[in-house]
């Protein structure tokens, strides 16, 4: 592929943004950012993958809801490719945008990846951005750490990205990234770090950070909606909890000191990348700590 085309695929042509709910999605940050892109441009379902083939319903259970007519219905775990349709609003840049969003499948990953790749190629996708979020030892009081990487040398050189050196268990994002790159479609991954001590609550601050980082690489402007206000309320709420818990406050102070050291002028990009790798190893439980969602 021509170098100019491959590097420019993220600012022209047809872009796919991918996020999965589950352990790739700490604080619902990645799925929240993908939904913001979907809603911003009024994207509609283009392909719905059959859930029976890829989900263990004892692990990802369907839920029952009441619709607007008062009728009870079953909602199944799903993965949907969204794209332009009647009523969609195209980006001002002229790009075409798609979003792949849903629950991470629990089985059949090779077949799932092949089906997704078929849908990507049918839609004429020219570049893919994978969004993820991980639980990490970071303070909520500092800007959310966001790490962008690519396995594509041309993309790395063009955007001055790091290449992840992580080795270990992976999730569906890594599998799809590998399959897509092998098919000749350039990719990048953007991950946000979410404070692990507030893992039970959505993190609008991390969602906002992912959107802001995404916009640095692609020619899109995504409406923030209430994310700014929600982020401030999220941070204030955690501050209030910490004020009533001396141990929590002391722990957050330690995290703040560690983060400020990483952010100091002396800290290199390599040091920051190494810190990201430590997060991944901790999450996998390979340093003796309990594991969490894996990339």
Spell out the domain ranges in the chain.
3-283
For residue 52, give both structure tokens: 């029976």
| φ/ψ of residue 214, rounded to 5 | -55, -45
Q: How far apart are CA 209 and CA 245, in angstroms?
A: 27
Q: How far apart are CA 3 and CA 83, in angstroms?
A: 27
Q: How far apart are CA 88 and CA 182, in angstroms?
A: 31
Q: At what angle do helices 29-40 and 204-217 cross, to 10 degrees?
A: 60
pLDDT at 201: 86
Its CATH class, for the domain covering 3-283, is alpha beta
For residue 132, give both structure tokens: 């993820």
| φ/ψ of residue 136, rounded to 5 | -150, 165
188 closest CA partner among 155, 219, 224, 216: 155
For residue 209, give both structure tokens: 């950070």
Cβ atoms 206, 133 nearer than 8 A: yes
Mean pLDDT for back-to-back runs of 10 residues, the chain (295 residues): 60 92 93 96 94 91 90 93 88 88 95 97 95 93 93 91 86 95 95 90 95 93 92 94 90 89 59 60 50 39
If you search the block for the tokens 């990953």, which residue do you land on? 109
Q: How far apart are CA 55 and CA 105, in angstroms?
A: 5
pLDDT at 2: 46
Burial status of residue 122 (CB atoms within 10 A of its CB: 0-12, 13-18, 19 or more): exposed
The Cα-based distances of 277 to 88, 131, 197, 251, 280 in angstroms read 39, 17, 19, 21, 5
For residue 226, give both structure tokens: 């209430």
- Kindly report the length of the chain: 295
Cα dihedral 198/204/43/90 (nearest 10): -150
Q: How far apart are CA 96 and CA 147, in angstroms?
A: 25
């Amino acid at each position: 592929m021509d170098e100019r085309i491959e590097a420019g695929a993220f600012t022209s042509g047809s872009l796919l943004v991918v996020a999965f709910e589950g352990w790739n999605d700490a604080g619902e940050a990645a799925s929240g950012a993908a939904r913001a892109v979907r809603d911003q441009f009024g994207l509609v379902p283009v392909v719905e993958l059959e859930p029976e083939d890829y989900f263990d319903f004892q692990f990802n259970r369907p839920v029952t809801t009441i619709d607007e007519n008062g009728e009870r219905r079953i909602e199944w775990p799903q993965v949907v490719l969204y794209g332009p349709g009647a009523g969609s609003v195209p980006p001002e840049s002229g790009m075409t945008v798609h979003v792949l969003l849903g629950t991470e499948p629990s089985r059949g990953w090779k077949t799932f990846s092949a089906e997704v790749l078929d849908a990507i190629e049918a839609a004429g996708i020219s570049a893919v951005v994978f969004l993820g979020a991980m639980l990490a030892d970071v303070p909520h009081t500092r800007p959310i750490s966001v790490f962008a990487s690519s396995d594509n040398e041309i993309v790395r050189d063009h955007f001055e990205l790091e290449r992840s050196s992580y080795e270990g268990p992976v999730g569906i994002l890594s599998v799809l990234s590998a399959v897509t790159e092998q098919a000749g479609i350039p990719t990048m991954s953007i991950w946000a770090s979410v404070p692990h001590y507030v893992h039970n609550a959505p993190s609008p601050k991390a969602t906002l950070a992912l959107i802001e980082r995404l916009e640095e690489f692609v020619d899109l402007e995504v409406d923030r909606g209430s994310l700014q206000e929600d982020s401030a309320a999220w941070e204030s709420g955690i501050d209030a909890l910490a004020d009533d818990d001396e141990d929590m406050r002391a722990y957050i102070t330690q995290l703040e000191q560690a983060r400020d050291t990483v952010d100091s002028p002396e800290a290199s990009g390599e040091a920051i990348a190494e810190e990201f790798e430590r997060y991944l190893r901790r999450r996998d439980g390979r340093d003796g700590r309990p594991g969490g969602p894996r990339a």
